[in-house]
Structure 1
Amino acid sequence: MSKTSNWMSIGPENITVTLSRPSVLNGVRQDKIVMRVPTMSDLRAATKHVKDKEEQEIYLFASLTECAPGDIERLSIRDYNRIQEGFFRHVNEDHADAAQAVGKAAGD
């Protein structure tokens, strides 16, 4: 099992990411965000309804965290990177392989 960061907690059905600073998510100021396990359906939905890869990822993360896309866009870069790392941990323990898989699913 690979080592995780102290700001990430991995469970069988979700990952909890502690934000570097509280942020407003769904109208509530929070210091953590929970991301559920992604499905192939989530990836397909993200690629169908948006214009570019960046927007696809924001849409996907919003869906997985049950937040509005605008909430994800307002996160600091540090916290957005934490969400990305959590996503890649969920799809595959090997971060590099997971990034390639997402790129292929998004039509890269």
Structure 2
Amino acid sequence: MSNKTPDYLRHDDQGYCDITLARPITLENGVEQGTLRMREPTVEDQIVHDEMKGSDAVREVTMFANLCEVAPSDIRKLNLKSYKRLQEAYAGFLD
């Protein structure tokens, strides 16, 4: 089993990961996006996540929106393949 990072994830040494979406989405601000940039999570992000009300899924969507600097409704528009890529990017920061 290979630990190679998939081509759709590009981590840099500044604490960011560019995620190529499976299909572009139109953000709330009207801009079409084919990639999202996720910043590296902080301890504060984890505390806010843990103290947030709602289901695990809603809390995760909200955290990903914060890390990608988009609205939670934008994350909700993603198809599941693209959402899984966000989950992979997040997990990559924890390794």
- Structure 2 counterpart SS, 1:30: strand
4+ residue runs of structure 1 moved beyond 4 angstroms?
none
TM-score (norm: length of structure 2): 0.89
Equivalence for 1:10: 11
Counterpart-to-counterpart distance in 1, 2:71 and 2:17: 18
Instruction: List alignment gaps of at least 5 residues for structure 2.
Output: none
Counterpart-to-counterpart distance in 2, 1:70 and 1:48: 20
Find 2:81's aligned residue among 78, 82, 98.
78
Aligned-residue sequence identity (percent) comes to: 31
Kindly indicate whether structure 1 or structure 2 has the higher relative contact order, using CA contacts under 8 Å at least 6 residues apart.
Answer: 2
Aligned residues: 91
TM-score (norm: length of structure 1): 0.79
- Say yes or no: does 1:30 pair with 2:33: yes
Alpha-carbon RMSD across the aligned residues, in angstroms, is: 1.1
* Residues 51-98 of structure 1: CA deviation (Å, up to 9, x unaligned): 121111011101000010010011000000000000000121xxxxxx
